[in-house]
Amino acid sequence: MTSLLRRVPGPSGPSWRCLGAILRGTHIRTSHLIQREGARMLAGVGIPLAAYSRAHRRWQHTEAAGRAEVDLRRLEEGDDGIVEVMMCQHKARNALGHVFVSQMRELVSTLSDDSSVRVVVFRSLVPRVFCAGADLKERALMNNSESDLFVHGLRSLMTQIASLPMPTIAAVDGVALGGGLELALACDLRTAAYSAQMGLIETTRGLLPGAGGSQRLPRTVGIALAKELIFTGKRVGGQAALEMGLVNRAVEQNQTGDAAYREALSLAREILPQAPVAVRMAKEALNKGIEVDITSGMAIERMCYAQVIPTRDRQEGMAAFIEKRPPRYTGE
């Protein structure tokens, strides 16, 4: 699906849309995507595809061919290096169904090996919704084993997003519940509109967070607060999310309903001028160091620091400082 990557003007330029129409009539049809990506997803977590076949056949009969539920766009001009992952499943409110998850996995895989990408912004094109969480209509077609296998693959997707080497930002302009909040938590940074609603509501459905939320939420807001939010299934708005550290920035919603996206873009633009290799190594040092004791963390920092010493960007940074000019980083 690398054909989904396209270069268009920035937010002030022409409007854009999902690429469902472009995909129609090509070899990338949804049924084929299910087969290929379903096999890859399950193989990636050590699960045989045969166990998935019955629910998989149901999805094949119910999903329309050629529909893009997730799309990418690369910004240009002064924003070159920022890539947006756009969720555009209007009918199901970006619910985490099989096709959505498969397409997201494909696009995230494409980004992971792209050294030209400096910041990724995850946003929704569905008004007042970031991601509504589980696709309950699909889940209703699964038996217990199939449901467990699917959530296992969903957990793997969130880990894939969290493992992207460049900074990621979730722009929460609307509802982010259950798996929707887990997707946002898999990103490094989060912005939200005050009107947004966020929560891990799984206990209200007889479940618990299963796509990383039980692990990432306490690492974000602390164990006591995470327990309160998960035990009660409480939903919080953008202001409360900011106060508890769930999001980095919160803003009043605007008339176009994309205030959190605009704030995420502003944050991405603050990251963009910095040395790309240094930023990536800083992310690795932070992510790996937080999981170990301080002594081991220092060793991780040393290894990451060693990666930036021989770069041209480090030399450029020193030269720019001495010459009293802005640095011109190339990512080398």
Q: Which residues are catalytic?
A: 134, 179, 182, 202
CA 324 to chain CA centroid, Å, is 37
What tokens does 139 get?
A: 């889940």
Residues shown for the chain: 332
Cα radius of gyration rounded to whole Å, the chain: 20
57 φ/ψ sector (left φ>0, alpha ψ -120 to 50, else beta):
alpha
Beta carbons of 300 and 289 less than 8 angstroms apart: yes
Structure tokens at 71: 């799309």
Residue 179: count other Cβ atoms within 10 Å of its Cβ: 29
Helix, strand, or coil (residue 104): helix
- Listing DSSP states for 153-210 in one string gives HHHHHHHHHHT-SS-EEEEE-SEEETHHHHHHHHSSEEEEETT-EEE--GGGGT----
